[in-house]
A and B are shown apart, each in its own frame.
Chain A
Amino acid sequence: MRLAIQGIGITGSFGAGIDALRTALQSRTVAPQQLSVDHHDGVSDSFPAYRATTTGLERFLPKRELRRIDHFSKMTLYAAHLALEDAELLEADRSRTGVVVASGYGPLKTTFNFLDSYLDFGYSCSSPTHFSNSVHNAAAAHVSMQLKLTSPSLTVTQFEMSVASALLSARQWLEEGRVDRVLFGATDEYCEVLRYCRRHFFADGEQGPLRPLDLDAQTAMVGEGAVFMVLERADNRAAYAAIDSVILGNHAVVPLELPPAAVVVAGADGHRQCGRWYAEIIGDQPVVACSPYYGSFPAAAGFDLAAAALMMRDQQLYAGPQDAAANLHESAFLPADEDTKLAGLKCGPGGDYGLICLSR
């Protein structure tokens, strides 16, 4: 069964809303901010990072509703509302709308805030508010509560494969008729502990620029953000694109063969460990990679999907930024047409992959 993408809501370092993503893709500009962190070990750390905004959320929800909601859930709520708005469904009947959220790490900051509560003040002072918001499905729960969605809700975490894996289950809900529509999203957030870990793992590789198709180099730069899509069965024409198939597997166990005529939208995001799998799988097929526009984080696979959907809608292949060196056959900034097929490919470090095929 094919899925139709009928609306997209997104917040990332380029701004909020699908038009902000389009502007970034068209202008080929990237917008990481320079952050400074004084770590507990005395190290002063300055680095570029892609941070997302939630300031527009108050357009949809009153401030008092947001008092106890953390940044992770705010990003999620913001993108969910933007997606419904984009699909012109903010006022629609949502009684048969399911929620599926993918996240690689969950609400990191609140998880550490909860640990702070007992490490600083003792176990009897553990914070119940932080604890209940630290569970991975807290963001999906806030979406369901604020939008009054009583259909099934699912949160999936599978690091790099979170988005493809969650999409597989979202598709099944629609195929089995459990719901008529799925609000499908992906969220991950930046936090200082994450930066500490990335500094240990990748050292200077995080200083940018992010060159996703320079597959032998470690050039990832930390990012965050949230994206949602309104998915329906593709009975009617899709506003953006149709998802033809979702396939997950492991290339190291059974080699993956890409659809031969497709342009690959690679989820490569500057992680050298994953680079060899992109090189092996993609071969000579034309490829674009958009991670320099929003950074490296597991949920960015959802951003890749949004970018691919936008390419289909605009009938335009958007290439990466000007300075992105490539050792694959990078597709130029070319018009697409009704027959263009895109293959969204995300690879993990062990050869695991998610392949999402799109057409108009």
Chain B
Amino acid sequence: MTCSLPVVVTGLGCLSGAGMNLDENLKNLFSGCRYPGAPIRFSTDHPVVYPVLELRDEFKLPLDEEQLIYARTGQLALAAALEALTAAGYDEASLRGKRVGVCIGTTVGCALNCDDFYRDYKAGKNPGMSIIERYLRSNPAAVIARQLKLNGPVQTVVNACASGTDAIGLGATWLRAGACDLVISGGADELSRVTYAGFSSLMITDTSPCKPFDVNRKGLNLGEGAGIVILERGDRVDKLRMRGRVLGYGSACDAHHLTAPRPDGAGLKAALAEALRMADISAGQIAFINAHGTGTPENDRIEGRVLHEVLPGVPFLSTKGYTGHTLGAAGAIEAVYTLACLERGEVPANIGFAELDPEIPVAPVTANTSFSGHVGLSQSLAFGGNNAVLILAAGGS
């Protein structure tokens, strides 16, 4: 399968625990700074405090009082979308008359896990509907479409931690099919007490800053944020506006376990094969890989082995040491980083890695590393056995 119509990226937006916009993210990534800490916006009675990577500043959106009832995930998505649109040279007025699609991945942003409401409900306190109304208004893709008064397909992808990667891949397919002129695509997720409790129950969270691919890794740190790309048809965009291209997208299911990756990595291999086939390139043309690299023992072992087998010798890194695991946003943030690294011609160090795991035959980059190619790969593995891969290229190359 190859697709002739090129899909290009004309704008990037990103906020995470590593920075409030893309420039700040990159500055921290390339200077090796990360800011894990105890959760600030919620507390639990859990005896262990797991570090997280929260946004370090408040962010402001041009919203009136009624609109401010959007849940945090919707606001994160909107903030990153506005940054990306501005970078692409668009505002609300210039989108009028276009068929604009919105395709956003999330996990927390669509779950009715409002524990404050539910606690009151269980206690018979007859809680009102304000929290539920906020939930109903806050579907992240719908928030962007509503705020920008868009006309086009709107989709929130909930493929767990692969959602952001899938959303970008699907957004590109909409463009190729002629379903829209432009797609605002990516992922967003807020840090939540519910996921904090959930991941600690699975015993896959680290009590210290996470160490992707390291022999002493103990698990992930949760994070929050959003990553957005503006996708357009390559035949309608001036080369000077092109920040990158979506060459390939592959996805496949492990059909193995709800939370654990398939031991032989077959699903990830199938997704990689599909993405490479669609991009019509060989593994040797990949300059670097932004791996999923959560820092959990199982994910990193299986992912590392697959990378060694399918993409031998290609430099790789995980950026989750800087951002934490942002769940439905992760794949999108990492796709934005991949495109930004392609623009710079270098990748940051895989922070947290110090010692090779004998069970993983490859090691990530341990310092900021320059490369000469034009193609990068970003991949995600997720609950439900979902695997998704994006192959991205620099500018109009």
Contact = CB atoms under 8 A, between A and B. Distances in A.
Contacts of B170: 154, 169, 172
B208 interface: no
Tell me whether chain B's interface is mostly helix, strand or loop, or mixed: mixed
Contact of A248 (B111, B121, B154, B382): B154
Interface string A147-159: 1111111111111
* Tier of interface size on chain A: 35 or more
Contacts of A112: 118
Given A99-B253, A126-B201, A158-B141, A176 B157 contact: no
Q: B46, B153, B176 — which one has the most chain A CB atoms within 10 A of its CB?
A: B153
Given A131-B202, A152-B251, A157-B158, A165 B118 contact: no
A334 interface: no
B252 A152 contact: yes
Contacts of B384: 135, 137-138, 140-141, 144, 153, 155
A173 B386 CA distance: 16
A119 B139 contact: no
A231 to B, nearest CB: 15
A55 interface: no
A165 B155 contact: yes
A123 B45 contact: yes
B145 interface: yes
B107 A158 contact: no
B67 to A, nearest CB: 13
Nearest to A193: B121
B117 to A, nearest CB: 9
Interface in A244-260: 248-250, 253-254
B247 to A, nearest CB: 14
A314 to B, nearest CB: 31
A128 B124 CA distance: 26
Interface in A22-81: 39-42
B202 A136 contact: no
Contacts of B113: 111, 114-115, 134
Contacts of A9: none
A166 interface: yes
A175 B177 contact: yes
Nearest to A354: B153
Interface string A180-200: 000000000000010011001
B383 A141 contact: yes
A166 B47 contact: no
A249 B151 contact: yes
Given A108-B112, A131-B198, A141 B121 contact: no
B173 A141 contact: no
B122 A40 contact: yes
A178 B110 CA distance: 27
A250 B145 CA distance: 9
Question: Which 10 interchain pairs have the tightest Cβ spacing?
Answer: A141-B384, A131-B198, A136-B158, A126-B201, A123-B46, A40-B124, A248-B153, A172-B173, A137-B384, A253-B151
22 contacts: A41-B125, A115-B113, A123-B44, A127-B201, A132-B202, A137-B159, A137-B160, A141-B385, A142-B258, A149-B255, A152-B252, A153-B384, A154-B166, A155-B384, A157-B156, A159-B142, A168-B179, A169-B170, A193-B112, A197-B132, A201-B129, A352-B142
Given A134-B198, A137-B386, A165-B153, 15 more contacts: A39-B124, A40-B122, A126-B198, A126-B200, A131-B197, A134-B111, A151-B252, A153-B384, A158-B141, A159-B139, A172-B174, A193-B121, A249-B152, A250-B151, A352-B142
Interface of B: 1, 3, 44-47, 99, 107, 110-113, 115, 118-119, 121-126, 128-129, 132, 136, 139, 141-142, 145-146, 149-160, 166, 170, 173-174, 176-177, 179, 194, 197-203, 251-259, 266-267, 270, 274, 382-386
